[in-house]
Structure 1
Amino acid sequence: MTCILVAHLGDEVIIAADKRVTQITQDGVKIPCGDNEEKIVRTKVGVITGAGSLAMLDPVKSFVRDHGFNSPDDVLDLILRTRHSFSEFHAESPRLQADLAETSWMFTYPTMENDQAITRFVYFHQHHSAESLRALTEGKVMCFPGGFSLEQAKELQAKLQGVVTAALDSYPTDQVRQLVASYMLTLISEVSATSETVSNKCDIALVEGNKVMIAMSVRAGDQALTFAPMANPVAD
């Protein structure tokens, strides 16, 4: 399971994802299995990540990483087909509805709008729509929970939104980036203190068009975040 925080700052999108993998038994017992998962996956046009069931997340993330996509609708179709296959295979599982409700995907890609290059962030979450993608607009934030409640996620999202709104109104881009990234680390640390499904360290990606920079395995209290280019997947 996981906690993913996203902020759309206009020219770039910041994505923070914790690194814990958790096994959930059929009766709902949560068993942490490690804190070294790289949940943010590079694609040819940006990144893709997600929260929830690995059995649904990984096939979509791997396909998009290896083959790319021509349209966001291609990814949506893959998500819907993956959910359908998972539902058929696990039809008798008492966790089926919870797994479907808790699993979400999100990805970025560059596009043109009014003759201007922009970075698009779109996501699929059953709570918002079970049939379509949603877009995160400039200046807005999201929290995607995996293994903790929507109420907790809404509280984190409200806190992050307040910081992002104030920062965008007051500081230049470089300062906004550092301030928001540092606050994301603080929020994930707070969640990890009360949720066994979230680690206190995470990866943070800065996405601008098809350019991606990433800081790996960082946590609250780190004095300086070092971002390095995230390599493109090998071309076909």
Structure 2
Amino acid sequence: MTCILVAHLGDEVIIAADKRVSEITQDGVRVPCGDDEEKIVRTALGVITGTGSVAMLDYVKSLVRDHGFSDPFEVLELILRTRDLYSEEHAASPHLEADLAETSWMFTYPIMLNDQPVTRFVFYHPMYHTQSLIPLEAGNAICFPGDLSSEQAQALQADFQSVVTHSLESCPAGQARQFVMSYMLMMMSEISAARETVSSTCDIALVDGSQVQVAMSVSADDEELTFAPMAHRPGC
């Protein structure tokens, strides 16, 4: 079950996604089957990622990667259509309700606001709303932790938000970014230790408008993170 952590620092958005993929057995048990998945996908306008059913996720992510969008509501329509098609095709599946409830998408795109470029981060999660995209405003953080109870997720969210708020209020932008990323890696490590469906290694994307830098397969053990431009490769 994917774990995704997001911090919107104003000029840029930081997204960390773990790399583990799990299969669901006939009994509904999640079994880890690899730690090499690249869950953050580059688009022409930023990135898209998500957590939940791989079949639903990858269908939407690949279409957005290959064809882009001119309005975020185009992506919302694609998500809703994908959920409907998946429901029809898997109507007899005992896991259908859980798949629909747990699958969420999130993506970034740039806009101009008061003649200034602004990075937008929006997400779709049926727990928040079944028909709308939810924006994450500057200064806020959110986590989509895999396989945790709502109480555990809320506690993580509160701690994460506290760290982001304190960093932005007390540190220069560069230091705030470094502090927040270090905390995200620590969170990923702690979640991984508690849940076998989440890996301790993750990919971290720094998104500033349509510019994306990525550090691949990093963890809390790394003393320094190396970022490189993330190229948009439609059809890959």
TM range (shorter): over 0.9
1:194, distance to aligned residue in structure 2 (A): 1.1
Cα deviation per residue 1:133-182 (whole Å; 9 max; x = unaligned)? 00000100111133333322222111111110000001111111111011
Counterpart for residue 159 of structure 2: 159
8 A Cα contact 2:65 2:234, kept in partner: no
3-state SS, counterpart of residue 157 of structure 2: helix
Tell me if 1:46 matches 2:52: no
Counterpart for residue 135 of structure 2: 135
3-state SS, counterpart of residue 98 of structure 1: helix
Q: Tell me the distance in 2 between the aligned counterparts of 1:228 and 1:37.
A: 18
1:13-92 equivalences under 5 Å are 13-92=13-92
Give the number of aligned pairs. Answer: 235
8 A Cα contact 1:102 1:147, kept in partner: no
Equivalent residue letter for 1:95: H
Q: Tell me the distance in 2 between the aligned counterparts of 1:234 and 1:124.
A: 23
Counterpart for residue 5 of structure 1: 5
Q: Which runs of 5+ in 1 are unaligned?
A: none
Q: Tell me the distance in 2 between the aligned counterparts of 1:151 and 1:50.
A: 21
Instruction: Out of 184-193 and 148-157, give the one that drifted further.
Output: 148-157
Q: Tell me the distance in 2 between the aligned counterparts of 1:49 and 1:23.
A: 19
Q: Tell me the distance in 2 between the aligned counterparts of 1:33 and 1:11.
A: 36
Q: Tell me the distance in 1 between the aligned counterparts of 2:191 and 2:170.
A: 27
Equivalent residue letter for 1:27: D
Structure-1-length-normalised TM-score:
0.97
8 A Cα contact 1:52 1:147, kept in partner: no
Runs of 4+ in 1 over 3 A off after TM superposition: none
1:234, distance to aligned residue in structure 2 (A): 4.4
Q: Tell me the distance in 2 between the aligned counterparts of 1:140 and 1:80.
A: 26
3-state SS, counterpart of residue 207 of structure 1: strand
Structure-2-length-normalised TM-score:
0.97
Q: Tell me the distance in 2 between the aligned counterparts of 1:153 and 1:14.
A: 19
Cα deviation per residue 1:185-218 (whole Å; 9 max; x = unaligned)? 0001000001111000000000000000000000
8 A Cα contact 1:26 1:95, kept in partner: no
1:27, distance to aligned residue in structure 2 (A): 2.2
